[in-house]
Amino acid sequence: MKTLLTMALRFGLKPLLVPSLPLAVQRFAIGAATLPLRRARGIAIESTALGGRPALRLRPKGSSPNPNPSPNPTPRILYLHGGGYVVGGFASHRKLCSQLSAHTGAEVWLLDYRLAPEHPHPAAVDDAVAAARALAAQSAAPIVIAGDSAGGGLALATAMALPNQGTPEVAGLVLLSPWVDLTLSGESIRSLAGADAMLSLPWVEFCAQAYAGGSATGRSAQGCSPLFASEERLRTLPPVLIQVGDQEMLLSDAQRMAERLRAAGVSCDLQITADVGHVFQVFAGWVPEADAALQRVGLWFPDGSCGWVKQLKSRKKLHVNPG
């Protein structure tokens, strides 16, 4: 099944993610590509809004939508979808988010942030920051920001922007195949371009230009490329889990981001899965490696094994100057 699904991406979706095709076609294609994917059973999905943007709220059926305060509440996940900042949304990511909710037992909020090129940087960061603040205002339960591909980079940029807002405290970050370098300087961007079943160099270049507003210098700014954030800013981040496949162009992004986080003293768990590609977790329910990866998120996430609750009670909030 993994081979069939990989071939479907390579020969069905990848040819449609090209700069020469209208974005409307690309946006339809990324949603249609999820038709064979499996939605987790027992997950309730509710259309709502968060921070002024549309959102989906996913949670295990039978769980309380407004849990009573407890000493160790289960964190909530703010999920920022991938798609190169130019495609993606509810159609492409609701099934993945249902699987994430099922494996963690957590409430997941999938945000429909504004896309480029109609809304270049910093629109997506502004939307995600507003959503995190709105989520924090609902209850005292910790917030974890998660995302895949561009959404992984956006999760980092959002978490680094939040200390300047004063609130809320972010308990952790879960990054699936994160795109953190829009300058495309990673070694695997080119060495694994042929192996990657979904991404191509021309399309990734197109996405980087669209999000940075056509500015080459803007692509290296930390809001676009968290890899290049200052060590002072990186030190404000909570524990980070990074998952990546060894057959994808963004492997170097994940490895270099983990190195920078660890050098800044941030707890970072980098998990590299063999013989899988970009955001392979979308194949949960079909591919054993995808289920195993989300199970590892579940082990890392809800039971406090990372010491999040303890850290949240003991650490002082860090405030740094904007940069």
Q: For residue range 134-182, list pLDDT tens digits in order.
A: 999 998 888 999 999 999 999 999 999 997 655 567 899 999 999 999 9
Query: Alpha helices, DSSP H only, in the chain?
Result: 2-8, 23-32, 90-104, 123-138, 150-161, 188-191, 201-211, 231-234, 251-263, 288-300, 308-314
How far apart are the C-alpha atoms of 119 and 173, rounded to whole Å? 25
Q: Which of 149, 177, 188, 252 is catalytic?
A: 149
Q: What is the pLDDT of residue 46?
A: 97
Q: What is the pLDDT of residue 298?
A: 87
How far apart are the C-alpha atoms of 293 and 269, rounded to whole Å? 13
Q: What is the pLDDT of residue 158?
A: 96
How far apart are the C-alpha atoms of 99 and 95, rounded to whole Å? 6
Query: Alpha helices, DSSP H only, in 33-141?
Result: 90-104, 123-138
149 is catalytic: yes
177 is catalytic: no
Contacts of 72 (CB under 8 A, 6+ apart): 304, 309
Q: What is the pLDDT of residue 72?
A: 59
How far apart are the C-alpha atoms of 27 and 47, rounded to whole Å? 20
This prediction's pTM: 0.92
What are 151's two structure tokens?
A: 């959404």
Prior bond of 54 cis (ω within 30°): no
How far apart are the C-alpha atoms of 132 and 112, rounded to whole Å? 13
Collapsing DSSP states into helix, strand and coil, what is residue 272?
A: strand
- Which residues of the chain, if any, have pLDDT below 70? 64-73, 164-168, 215-216, 301-323
Q: Which of 92, 98, 188, 248 is catalytic?
A: 248
Collapsing DSSP states into helix, strand and coil, what is residue 270?
A: strand
